[in-house]
Amino acid sequence: MKKILGVLLLVLMGTISFTKEVLYVGTNAEFAPFEYMKDGEIVGFDIDLINKIGEKIGKEIKIKNIAFDGLLPALQTNKIDLIIAGMTVTKEREKFVDFSKDYFIANQVIVVPENENTIIDMESLKNKKVGVVLGYTGDLMVSKVEGVNKIQYNSAPSSIMALKGGKIDAMILDSAPAQSYVAKNKGLKIINIDTEVEKYAIAAGKNNQNLINEINKALDEIKSQGIYDELIIKHFN
Ligand code: GLN
């Protein structure tokens, strides 16, 4: 009996010491092609990227799907270790979290019904019903234009549905997801506007510079080894 217990103990110790440290990574799977649900699973560019980073730094990645505006609070209260969610680096967010190097450049665009011809820039959104996603950078951008009837949605897909259903005149969204949703939903088109460039990065809690350094090093390797380009081809074609 003692022998069996001893063996069990050894096996247990072995399992513990060989179990990789887990990193809990928060995302919001409503932002194709970066993160979205497919056959009940969270997939996308960001998910593949963070798993590659996990491989490089020897950590197991566990994804948690959280509402976008719940991601920063979850990180601040240590419910997650990282965020990867097509999240733009902003001065405001930098007060609460630290960001890695950026891994993707984006900008905001306007999505309108195909037959809409009066909306050509941000100014022309005045007196229009404009959908945004709560807490997204596009939400902040629209707030700066006076006279817009801004309507907040909980996700990009729900704002797209509202636009298709004629409940709003236009919506603001990040360029790559806008292209992805317009391709999958007939009757919509994209209006490109002159806006500031946005940089997506991975967020970690404050005072976690070691982890950020490891991630940055992994990102460099992922780029120099061609893995990044493979992921772009896989998710953006
Ligand atoms: N890039 C936008 C932001 O950071 C939208 C991100 C997202 O929806 N996942 O606010």
Q: What is the CATH number of the domain that holds 220?
A: 3.40.190.10
Answer yes or no: do 152 and 131 share one domain.
Answer: yes
Instruction: Express each pLDDT in 47-56 by its tens digit.
Output: 999 999 999 9
Who has greater pLDDT, 5 or 173? 173
Share of the chain above pLDDT 70, in %: 94
Q: Answer yes or no: do 27 and 75 share one domain.
A: yes
What are the angstrom distances between the C-alpha of 90 and each of 19, 27, 94, 95, 201? Answer: 36, 17, 6, 9, 10
Output the six-digit token pair for 70. 């719940």
**Is residue 168 domain-shared with residue 210, that is, in the same domain?**
no
Strands (E), the chain: 22-27, 30-31, 35-38, 41-43, 60-65, 82-83, 97-106, 108-113, 129-133, 149-153, 170-174, 188-192, 198-205
The whole-angstrom separation of Cα 145 and Cα 141 is 7
For residue range 95-114, what is the model confidence (pLDDT) as tens digits?
999 999 999 999 999 999 99
Say whether both 124 and 92 belong to one domain: no
Nearest CA to ligand 1 atom 7: 86
Tokens (6 digits) for 72: 């920063």
- Cα separations (Å) of 165 from 7, 48, 140, 176, 186? 64, 33, 24, 22, 12
Are residues 182 and 119 part of one domain? yes
Do 60 and 15 fall within a single domain?
A: yes
Within 10 angstroms of residue 4's Cβ, the number of other Cβ atoms is: 8
Number of domains in the chain: 2
Return the best residue to mutate from 25, 28, 68, 196 for the ligand 1 pocket (most ligand atoms within 8 A of CB).
68
- Determine if ligand 1 sits within 6 Å of the CB of residue 85: yes
Mutate to test the pocket of ligand 1, among 25, 37, 84, 88 (most ligand atoms within 8 A of CB): 88
Residues forming a β-bridge with 75: none
Q: Is there an atom of ligand 1 within 6 Å of 153 CB?
A: no
137 CA to middle of ligand 1, Å? 6
Domain that holds residue 147: 108-192
Same domain, 12 and 84: yes
How high is the pLDDT of residue 14? Answer: 61
Starting from the edge strand earliest in sequence, which strands make up the sheet with 30-31, in order? 30-31, 35-38, 41-43
